[in-house]
């Protein structure tokens, strides 16, 4: 037996299997391998909260995931680039993205306002407005994760081919 309730003109089926959160999380599953454990957990929480009508809370978790995507990229490249920790951590998010632009997906660099939108959601929007914009923000993060995944796959593929060429060259030199 199912029970229905009306929430802000949206009818939700109580006891629905799979739940709306399960359906949304299936969409994200392919990126979990490339995400840090905490990011995957908090992205999952954001989706679950949104599926249960908690808009502001879902924005909080999306914003935290976004912040760590940027911070992790800084940590990955700071030594090679000679960047200063104190300047980075004191900077506004838009400036951090500008600093990291050569190491971030083009989509993120072109749409650096994603963070501002998430911040407005946390500080100024109501539940209804956050829920209205949740899918756009979730999809933005998914696009960033997809771009990162493609880049990592391409780099891994190039490395495999480079190793194969090196093995061929070594074998050719030994046969001569």
pLDDT single digits (tens) 81-139: 999 999 999 999 999 999 999 999 999 999 999 999 999 999 999 999 999 999 999 99
Strand segments, DSSP code E, in the chain are 3-7, 10-14
Q: From residue 132, how far is each of 40, 116, 120, 165 by CA, in Å?
A: 22, 16, 13, 52
Q: Residue 28 and residue 138: Cα distance in Å, rounded?
A: 10
Q: Which residue has the tokens 């199912």?
A: 2
Please report the DSSP string for 99-111 in residue order: HTGGGS-HHHHHT
Quote the pTM value: 0.76
Q: Are 19 and 52 in contact (CB under 8 A)?
A: no
Measuring CA to CA, how many Å separate 71 from each of 56, 66, 88, 140?
Answer: 23, 9, 9, 17
Percentage of the chain beyond pLDDT 90 is 62
Confidence check: pLDDT of 3 > 70: no
pLDDT computed for residue 151 by the predictor:
86
pLDDT number for residue 22: 62
Which pLDDT value is given to residue 53? Answer: 94
Provide the mean pLDDT of the chain. Answer: 86
The residue among 67, 85, 52, 44 whose CA lies nearest residue 122 is 67
């Amino acid at each position: 037996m199912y029970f229905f309730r009306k929430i802000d003109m949206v009818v939700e089926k109580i006891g629905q299997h799979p739940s709306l959160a399960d359906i949304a999380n299936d969409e994200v599953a392919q990126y979990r391998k490339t995400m840090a454990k905490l990011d995957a957990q908090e992205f999952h929480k954001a989706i679950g909260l949104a599926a249960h009508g908690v808009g502001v809370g879902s924005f909080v978790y999306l914003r935290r995931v976004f912040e760590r995507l940027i911070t992790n990229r800084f940590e990955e490249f700071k030594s090679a680039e000679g960047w200063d920790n104190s300047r980075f951590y004191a900077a506004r998010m838009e400036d951090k993205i500008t600093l990291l632009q050569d190491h971030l997906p083009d989509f993120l660099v072109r749409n650096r306002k994603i963070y501002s939108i998430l911040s407005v959601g946390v500080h100024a929007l109501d539940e209804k407005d956050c829920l209205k914009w949740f899918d756009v923000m979730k999809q933005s993060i998914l696009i960033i994760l997809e771009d990162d995944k493609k880049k990592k796959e391409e780099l891994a593929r190039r490395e495999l081919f480079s190793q194969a060429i090196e093995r061929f060259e070594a074998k050719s030199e030994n046969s001569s």
